[in-house]
Amino acid sequence: MPSITVNVDNDLKAQMEKHPEINWSEVTRQAIQEKIEALEMMDELTSESELTERDVREIADKINERGRKRVEEESA
């Protein structure tokens, strides 16, 4: 399986280290997977749409926020 590197600031790293029971690689993988699924859904929904790029970005931002909240809830 390929690996990626994710950079986080020192404060975030310290917070992560307070929770060694969390598999942060899995949290990251899930977040990436959710983002990919959202993008694929966006592509499918907008393939024949007349939405502008700005419209699509606004919708994507809303989806991303929901995804972040979901990951936070599942990780808590």
List pLDDT tens digits, range 10-60. 999 999 999 999 999 999 999 999 999 999 998 888 788 787 889 888 999
Q: Is residue 28 part of a domain?
A: yes
14 within some domain: no
| Structure-token match 């970005």, residue found | 57
The count of structural domains within the chain is 1
C-alpha 71/C-alpha 65 separation (Å) is 10
pLDDT above 80 for 62 = yes
Does a structural domain hold residue 44?
Answer: yes
Q: Between helices 53-75 and 24-46, what is the axis angle to 10°? A: 150
- Please answer whether residues 35 and 64 qualify as being in contact, where contact means their C-beta atoms are separated by less than 8 angstroms: yes
What is this structure's pTM?
0.59
Residue 3 lies in a domain: no
- Could you give phi then psi for residue 48, rounded to 5 degrees? -120, 20
Show the domain range for 35.
23-75
Instruction: Tell me if 54 is assigned to some domain.
Output: yes
Predicted confidence at residue 36, as pLDDT, reads 96
